Amino acid sequence: MSSIKDRMVFKLKKTVKGILGMNYKFKISTFDEKNYSKSLLHLLSHRTDLLDERKSAGIRGDKKEFYPDVKKIADAFSFYRIYLHKYDKIYKDIPEIGEYDGLHSGTPIKYKPFKGCIKSVKKLLKSKTLFWYPSTSGGMVSRQKFLDYLKKEGFRLEKEDGYDGMGIDNIVFTCSTTQAYSMIVSLIARREDVILVTGPNYGFFALEPERLNAKVEVLNLKEEDNWYVNKDDLAKRIDEINDNLKKEFEGKLDYIPRVVGFLNMNPHNPLGKVMNNKNKDVLEGIGDVCLEKGVFVIDDLIYRDLTFDHDDLALPLATNPKYFNNTISLFGISKSFGLASFRAGVVVAPIPVCRGISGQIFQRMDSTPVVQVESVVGAFNASNKRYREYKRYFKPLMREYKYRYELFKAMVEGIDSISNKKIKNKIIRDIYHYEKDKDVRKMLLEGIPNVSIRKGTEPESGFFAVMDFTKLKGKKYNDKVIENDYDMLEYFYIKGKIQYIMGRSVSWPYEDEIIGRINFALTKKALINNMKILTVSVRKLR
């Protein structure tokens, strides 16, 4: 019996290695400048960054320096993506932490894909029409299915006073919400026009407008507002920016740049704050201000299905007809449906905006691949079967997300911070299972001295938490004093190759604080290992 079991395990391991490419002996590429052509040398004379294998934050299209808010993000990005790795050769004996096991990861929980997506794609692959080039915006049937889903989720399709209603031409499928966002910015923003984002934010989306020669400004969220957008602050900030743009550019361009878009992440990344029916007045406040000021709301709903309260999901602003023509909504499957690798998204917007995005798709790649379209339709359609599947899929998934947060919280603030006895016992069992050293177990259950989850930021969605290291400011190692974000992350990397997203990378509004954005959706083994390294490292500071 054991030999049969051993053979099965061997075959399983072999299959997994094959999927991951571990059975291959890779031929690594090399390069020697002596062999470069004249054209390649000419390219490298002004793009020396192409010799660095690590990804950079990029540059503005006009080659100017990033504006101050974005420069902070870009510098922080370069610090953890490039600068820290100078220590790799110095500290060779410290084990590397894999890309998907690191606290900096943006990858959702390891979970099976949503069945509806897989079935939809399998059906597609059996189609007899794959030799056709698809429709630029996605096929009419696919757009109608998504439209039916929108109706079921509260979007109003019929005409009303001041509202044209909705149809399939209000929908465009894309290769990810990231691609969609880039095309939206290209469409609505001229050179020096402003996209306003919150602080904190998703750093990648803050960088992208400036790569396209627009400008990014930040609206700082405040603890006293429970980290939601204050509509009065939003109105004041838009006016302030527009006044400054007029002073700076009047007479210098044939137009005066202005604020053209506000990035509204609902749920918020990285705070996990949700605007739903319980607090839709906050959402409507954003809608009213932007409508009055002539600013598009880019309503990023990518984390919507990871709202912890599945009886009251994040509310799309455009479900209210009043705001539809001023809102560009983004949906996608990568964060919630176990299919991040598919890179599939969809835009819902007024017809001129959809035509503009569709035109960009046509000019750059002719059409969106049908696999992306069908995977989205598999997740978002109005069938009763879909909604039954959805409930079965997300109930255990959301339970696991919430548990991972509790596991993380226990290792930061101590096991006594967990009030639910059942969860408390489960956490203890998991720590005992993945950590065999008794002293380390004890440390993990005690929490990390002088470190906490930032007050008021307990997530209501998603898989990011905000760690507060501020009380470690002034501590020393090797006669070096911890003074800021950079010092803190450098110390953790030297001690155990720990990486996370720094406060500066997300425009954290309180600059005197030392903050880390942490992914708690890692495997339990990886999460416990990272927290062990953090705990031991903090205890070595003096």
3-state secondary structure 353-404: HHHHHHHHHHHHHCCCCHHHHHHHHHHCCCCHHHHHHHHHHHHHHHHHHHHH
Separation of alpha carbons 274 and 266, rounded Å: 6
Separation of alpha carbons 80 and 59, rounded Å: 17
508 within 8 A of 199, measured Cβ to Cβ:
yes
The phi and psi torsions of 89 (rounded to 5 degrees) equal: -80, -25
Separation of alpha carbons 176 and 173, rounded Å: 9
Q: Supply 350's token pair.
A: 């007024």
- Statement: residue 498 has pLDDT above 80: yes
Class of domain 77-111+394-540: alpha beta
* 3-state SS, residue 264: strand
234 within 8 A of 217, measured Cβ to Cβ:
no
Evaluate the omega torsion of the peptide bond into residue 134 and state whether it is cis, within 30 degrees of 0: no
Evaluate the omega torsion of the peptide bond into residue 350 and state whether it is cis, within 30 degrees of 0: no
How many CB atoms lie under 10 A from the CB of residue 84?
20
**pLDDT at residue number 33:** 84
State the pLDDT confidence band at 57, using cuts at 50, 70 and 90: confident
* 3-state SS, residue 320: coil
The residue assigned the tokens 């083994």 is: 525
Written as one string, the DSSP assignment of 81-96 is HTGGGGGTTT-TTSPP
Overall average pLDDT of the 476-504 stretch: 96
**pLDDT at residue number 55:** 67
* 3-state SS, residue 330: strand
Condensed to tens digits (0 to 9), the pLDDT of residues 71-104 reads 999 999 999 888 999 999 899 899 999 989 999 9
* 3-state SS, residue 477: strand
- Statement: residue 38 has pLDDT above 80: yes
Chain centroid, CA 349 distance in Å: 21
Overall average pLDDT of the 462-484 stretch: 96
- What DSSP designation does 473 have? T
Evaluate the omega torsion of the peptide bond into residue 200 and state whether it is cis, within 30 degrees of 0: yes
Separation of alpha carbons 419 and 436, rounded Å: 25
Instruction: List every span in the chain annotated with CATH 3.40.640.10.
Output: 115-389
State the pLDDT confidence band at 16, using cuts at 50, 70 and 90: low
The phi and psi torsions of 184 (rounded to 5 degrees) equal: -65, -45
State the pLDDT confidence band at 294, using cuts at 50, 70 and 90: very high
Instruction: List every span in the chain annotated with CATH 3.90.1150.10.
Output: 77-111+394-540
Higher-pLDDT residue of 53, 157: 157
Written as one string, the DSSP assignment of 292-356 is HHT-EEEEE-TTGGGBS-TTSPPPPGGGSHHHHTTEEEEEESTTTSS-GGG--EEEE--HHHHHH
- What DSSP designation does 333 have? S
Separation of alpha carbons 214 and 205, rounded Å: 12
Overall average pLDDT of the 373-380 stretch: 96
**pLDDT at residue number 441:** 98
Contacts of 24 (CB under 8 A, 6+ apart): none
Condensed to tens digits (0 to 9), the pLDDT of residues 158-192 reads 999 889 999 999 999 999 999 999 999 999 999 99
Q: Supply 436's token pair.
A: 């065999």
- Statement: residue 136 has pLDDT above 70: yes
Decide: residue 137, CB within 10 A, 0-12 exposed, 13-18 middle, 19+ buried: buried
Between 80-94, 347-361, 387-401, the lowest mean confidence (pLDDT) is in 80-94
Separation of alpha carbons 503 and 201, rounded Å: 10
**pLDDT at residue number 6:** 61
Mean pLDDT of the chain: 93
State the pLDDT confidence band at 1, using cuts at 50, 70 and 90: very low
State the pLDDT confidence band at 52, using cuts at 50, 70 and 90: confident
184 within 8 A of 358, measured Cβ to Cβ:
no
**pLDDT at residue number 19:** 53
Q: What are the b/e assignments for 420-444, b being 16+ CB within 10 Å? A: eeeebeebbebbeebbeeeeebebb
Condensed to tens digits (0 to 9), the pLDDT of residues 231-252 reads 999 999 999 999 999 999 999 9
**pLDDT at residue number 27:** 81
Class of domain 115-389: alpha beta
**pLDDT at residue number 249:** 95
Overall average pLDDT of the 326-343 stretch: 94
| Alpha helices for 294-342 (secondary structure H) | 321-324
Q: Tell how strand 452-453 and strand 464-468 pair up.
A: antiparallel
Of 369, 361, 367, the closest CA to residue 186 belongs to 361
- Statement: residue 385 has pLDDT above 80: yes
Give me the sign of the Cα torsion angle 439, 445, 452, 314: positive
Overall average pLDDT of the 269-294 stretch: 97
**pLDDT at residue number 29:** 84
